[in-house]
Structure 1
Amino acid sequence: MCQISLRRKSKSEFIRPCKRCTVANCSDIRILMESQVFSMGQSILQPGRFFAAVILFIMASTGLAKTAAIPSYDVSTAGIASNPFQVYLIQDESRTLTIDEIASGRIQGTLTSSRFHINSTDINYWFIFTLENNSSEPVNRIVRFDEPFADQASIYYRQRGAWHEESAGLAVPIKERRVSNRNPIFPITITPGEAKTVYLKLQSNVARITIGLYCDKPEIFLNWELLQTAFYMFYFGAASALIVYNLFLFFALNERLYLYYVLHGLAYSTFVFFYSGFDLYLGIDKDLHLF
Structure 2
Amino acid sequence: MMSRRHLRYLLTLPWLLLGLLTLPLQAALQLQENSPPQSLTAQVEYLADPTGTLRLDDLLTASQAPAWRRASKLNFGYVDGAIWLRLTLQSVQSQTGDWRLEFSYPSLDRITLFDVGSDGVRLGQAGDMLPFQQRSVANRAPVFDIRLQPGERRTLYVRASSEGAMTLDGTLYARNQHERHSVDGYLVHAMYSGTLIALGCYNLLLFFALRERPFLYYALFVSAFFVGILGLNGLGAQFLWSGGNWWTNRALPFGINAAAAIGLLFARSFLDTAKWMPRGDRWLRLATILLSGCALATLLLPVQQALQLMSISGLCMCVCTLITGFVCVRKGAPGAALFLLAWLTLLLGASLLALRNFALIPSNAFTMHAMQIGSALEMILLSLALAARFNELKRQKEQVLQSHERQLEHRVAERTEALEEANRQLSSMAMQDALTQLANRTSLQRQLDQAIQRAKRRNETLAVMLIDLDGFKPINDLHGHELGDQVLIEIARRLRDCARDSDLPARLGGDEFVLICEAIHSAEHALEVAERILTGLHAPILLGELCLQVGASIGIVLSRGEESGTTLIRQADAAMYAAKAAGRNRVMLAHALNRA
TM-score, length basis structure 1: 0.70
Matches within 5 A, 1:58-207: 70-79=26-35, 81-83=37-39, 84-105=41-62, 106-113=65-72, 115-159=73-117, 161-207=119-165
What is the alpha-carbon distance in structure 1 between the residues aligned to residue 232 and residue 157 of structure 2? 27
What is the alpha-carbon distance in structure 1 between the residues aligned to residue 49 and residue 235 of structure 2? 30
Report how far residue 80 of structure 1 moved: 6.1
What is the alpha-carbon distance in structure 2 between the residues aligned to residue 151 and residue 249 of structure 1? 39
What is the alpha-carbon distance in structure 1 between the residues aligned to residue 163 and residue 26 of structure 2? 27
Partner residue of 1:211 out of 168, 171, 175? 168
| Cα distance change, pair 146–261 in 1 and its aligned pair in 2 (3 A) | same
1:240 paired with 2:197, answer: yes
What is the alpha-carbon distance in structure 2 between the residues aligned to residue 137 and residue 165 of structure 1? 23
| Cα distance change, pair 69–120 in 1 and its aligned pair in 2 (3 A) | farther
The letter for the 2-side match of 1:214 is T
| Cα distance change, pair 184–217 in 1 and its aligned pair in 2 (3 A) | same
1:276 paired with 2:233, answer: yes
What is the alpha-carbon distance in structure 2 between the residues aligned to residue 143 and residue 78 of structure 1? 16
Asked if the contact 1:147/1:183 (under 8 Å) is kept, the reply is: yes
What is the alpha-carbon distance in structure 2 between the residues aligned to residue 213 and residue 71 of structure 1? 18
Q: Deviations over 1:176-210 (max 9, x none)?
A: 22211121111011111111111111111113x53
Q: Which residue of 2 aligns with 1:27?
A: none
Partner secondary structure for residue 167 of structure 1: strand
What is the alpha-carbon distance in structure 2 between the residues aligned to residue 245 and residue 190 of structure 1? 51
Q: Which has the higher contact order (CA 8 A, sep 6+)?
A: 1
What is the alpha-carbon distance in structure 1 between the residues aligned to residue 54 and residue 214 of structure 2? 56
1:230 paired with 2:187, answer: yes
Partner secondary structure for residue 86 of structure 1: coil
Q: Deviations over 1:106-131 (max 9, x none)?
A: 31011004x51123442311111111
What is the alpha-carbon distance in structure 2 between the residues aligned to residue 251 and residue 135 of structure 1? 63
Q: Which residue of 2 aligns with 1:221?
A: 178
Report how far residue 265 of structure 1 moved: 1.3
What is the alpha-carbon distance in structure 1 between the residues aligned to residue 108 and residue 25 of structure 2? 26
Asked if the contact 2:29/2:43 (under 8 Å) is kept, the reply is: no
Q: Deviations over 1:49-102 (max 9, x none)?
A: xxxxxxxxxxxxxxxxxxx98441111224565534421111112211110111
Asked if the contact 1:155/1:167 (under 8 Å) is kept, the reply is: yes
Runs of 4+ displaced beyond 6 Å: none
Report percent identity of matched pairs: 24
| Cα distance change, pair 170–235 in 1 and its aligned pair in 2 (3 A) | closer
What is the alpha-carbon distance in structure 2 between the residues aligned to residue 135 and residue 265 of structure 1? 49
- Segments of structure 1 that go 5 or more residues without pairing to the other structure are 1-67
Asked if the contact 1:151/1:204 (under 8 Å) is kept, the reply is: yes
| Cα distance change, pair 81–237 in 1 and its aligned pair in 2 (3 A) | closer
What is the alpha-carbon distance in structure 1 between the residues aligned to residue 108 and residue 38 of structure 2? 24
The count of aligned residue pairs is: 222
The letter for the 2-side match of 1:139 is G
Report how far residue 150 of structure 1 moved: 1.7
Q: Which residue of 2 aligns with 1:18?
A: none
Asked if the contact 1:70/1:87 (under 8 Å) is kept, the reply is: no
What is the alpha-carbon distance in structure 2 between the residues aligned to residue 102 and residue 80 of structure 1? 30
The letter for the 2-side match of 1:197 is T
Q: Deviations over 1:194-252 (max 9, x none)?
A: 11111111111113x53311111011111111111111111121222211221122122
- Segments of structure 2 that go 5 or more residues without pairing to the other structure are 1-23, 253-596
Q: Which residue of 2 aligns with 1:255?
A: 212
Higher strand share: 1
